[in-house]
Amino acid sequence: MSKSSVISEDIKAGTVVTMINIQDPDSGENGNVQCAINENIPFIMKSTSVNFFTVVTDGELDRERASEYNISVTCSDEGVPSLSSSVTLTLQISDVNDNAPVFERSSYEAYIIENNTPGLSIFTVKARDDDWNQNARVSYILEDSSVNGVAISSYVSVSADSGVIQALRSFDYEQIKDFRFRVKAQDGGSPPLSSNVTVKIMIQDQNDNAPQVLYPVQTSSSLVAEMVPRSADVGYLVTKVVAVDMDSGQNAWLSYKLQKATDRALFEVGLQNGEIRTIRQVNDKDTVKQRLTVVVEDNGQPSRSATVNVNVAVADSFPEVLSEFTDFTHDKEYNDNLTFYLVLALAVVSFFFIVSIIAILSVKCYRWRRERMFYKSNGNLPVIPYYPPLYADVGGTGTLRHVYNYEVCGTADSGKSDLKYVRPCSQSIISLDGTQTLPHAQRDTLINDNGDNQVSMNNRKTTLKYYLSSLGVSVLYDKYFGLLLLHYIPKENNVIFTPYIFPDTKKYSLHLNA
């Protein structure tokens, strides 16, 4: 009568799955029907009324254990012989997000060699979810934490889809040997379920550090010598070379070897402890100055080494050592470096000095050329403008007893204009602008428009030019500078000529004072 093809796995017990109606046309006991279902399934058959049966759940369902059920229903009557019929019901169990992701391990440990390349994949974490479809889709998340005050996200990263852990920086075993962090696996259900796992990363050492010699201290400015008395016996302890290696394990195992010596038959170095001892009796023939070179090597692959020089003085007293002490050979490398820096400093100072001289000369030459260009324009020398003092007559003692004031006005086309002037009484005004604007009250009536007056004007112009020429004054208009250049050629020592130059107004005044 009704049938459910899919039910949820979180359905409660006693829920009706299917309702069945049984028909038997016989009568009496031959028409009485009984139904049953197969065993070992979480379902039972119940009779609600005559010829009506229901299939209900009989416990909790779990899709992860059984995602589908085939329910076989068999009904038989009470007749003799009994007759029966059966039907099979297929029932799908739908998934519910009831399982959190589970990691394959309870914790992870991984190793990485120091000085790795950033972006290197270290290892992969894996989690499994028993749910189905979206509920089983797992994402990996790096939980926030810190290592030595630095966020873990700057050390490693985790791929959200694959769970691959990558190194984000190059690790140094001497700075950090291991660190821990947590990774969360979260499914795509609603609401999502998650679980965590702890990951430990251990840095493996590489032989990336050479041994460091702590004693004897190597200095370039002074020499340190170990004293050995001439009475020293065999096995006398001269000194001990002390060295350390920042690496670990076999990379930090050090061995000591005597590379060279002034007298190799006098000293030996302990292979493991670095002790320098005499191997024979010291005699008077042994030189006072002894120099040993000891090599310290680690046991890494490839091995790294350091070299130390040991100065030994074979003497019984300090004055004997002092007399020979200054003869020890100093480090040539230090002297070479000092010479190099001195030469370099001298070269730099010389370079800057030459550059400064060249710059000064360039500026001087540039200014000189500009002045030459200015003086050579139109073959006349410009006069530096200044406001001169007013020179007055001195009781008529000079050669020129009168003061002549000329006012000259010029335009761009003043070279084509006529020169007009009036005869001065105590003062004369000259105009070179081609106009008839002479402000002097006693200007001559010769300044008219055209006609005969032009002849008189030209005569007067010629007379003025002759007069100016006799004084050594020439008048020019320079179109390049837009200035009126007045050049004075002195004829007598008692004549002073000072031009007034006004570039903005193109108006010039000159005073001839005697």
Return mean pLDDT, the chain: 77
Q: How confident is the model at residue 474 (pLDDT cuts 50, 70, 90)?
A: low
Q: Minimal CA–CA distance to 305: which of 257, 361, 265, 345?
A: 257
Residue scoring higher pLDDT (284 or 425): 284
pTM, rounded to two decimals: 0.53
Give the model confidence (pLDDT) of 207-265 as tens digits. Answer: 999 999 999 887 765 567 888 998 888 999 999 999 999 999 899 999 999 999 988 89
Q: Encoding tokens for residue 83? A: 């007759």
In the chain, % of residues over pLDDT 70: 68
Q: How confident is the model at residue 485 (pLDDT cuts 50, 70, 90)?
A: very low
Give the model confidence (pLDDT) of 176-218 as tens digits. Answer: 999 999 999 999 999 999 999 999 999 999 999 999 999 988 7
| Average of per-residue pLDDT across 486-493 | 47
Q: What is the pLDDT of residue 469?
A: 58
Residues 6 or more apart from 304 whose CB is under 8 A from it? Answer: 207, 209, 210, 211, 297, 298
Residue scoring higher pLDDT (435 or 64): 64
| Average of per-residue pLDDT across 97-126 | 95
Q: Minimal CA–CA distance to 328: which of 291, 278, 295, 293?
A: 291
Distance CA 417, CA 506 (A): 15
| Average of per-residue pLDDT across 273-281 | 93
In the chain, % of residues over pLDDT 90: 46
Contact in structure between 450 and 418 (CB atoms under 8 Å) = no
| Average of per-residue pLDDT across 486-509 | 45
Q: What is the pLDDT of residue 167?
A: 96
Give 239's strand partners: 276
pLDDT surpassing 90 at residue 454 = no
pLDDT surpassing 60 at residue 490 = no
Q: What is the pLDDT of residue 225?
A: 80
Q: Minimal CA–CA distance to 172: which of 185, 155, 184?
A: 155
Contact in structure between 383 and 486 (CB atoms under 8 Å) = yes
Q: What is the pLDDT of residue 401?
A: 42
Question: Strands, E, within 50-147: which ranges?
Answer: 52-57, 68-77, 84-94, 102-103, 107-113, 121-124, 127-128, 138-142, 146-147
Distance CA 369, CA 375 (A): 10
Give the model confidence (pLDDT) of 27-84 as tens digits. Answer: 888 888 889 998 889 999 998 888 889 999 998 899 989 989 999 999 999 888 999 9
Contact in structure between 74 and 34 (CB atoms under 8 Å) = no
Q: What is the pLDDT of residue 425?
A: 40
Q: What is the pLDDT of residue 400?
A: 43
Using alpha carbons only, what angle is made at residue 388 by residues 387 and 393, rounded to the nearest 5 degrees?
A: 145
- The 3-class SS string of 240-279 reads ECEEECCCCHHHHCEEEEEEEECCCCCEEECCCCCEEEEC
Write the DSSP assignment of 399-453 as a string of letters.
S--S-EEEEEE--TTGGGSPPEE---SS---EE-SSS-----TT--TT--SSTHH
Weakest-pLDDT range from 323-332, 346-355, 379-388: 379-388
pLDDT surpassing 90 at residue 402 = no
Residues 6 or more apart from 485 whose CB is under 8 A from it? Answer: 378, 380, 381, 382, 383, 476, 477, 478
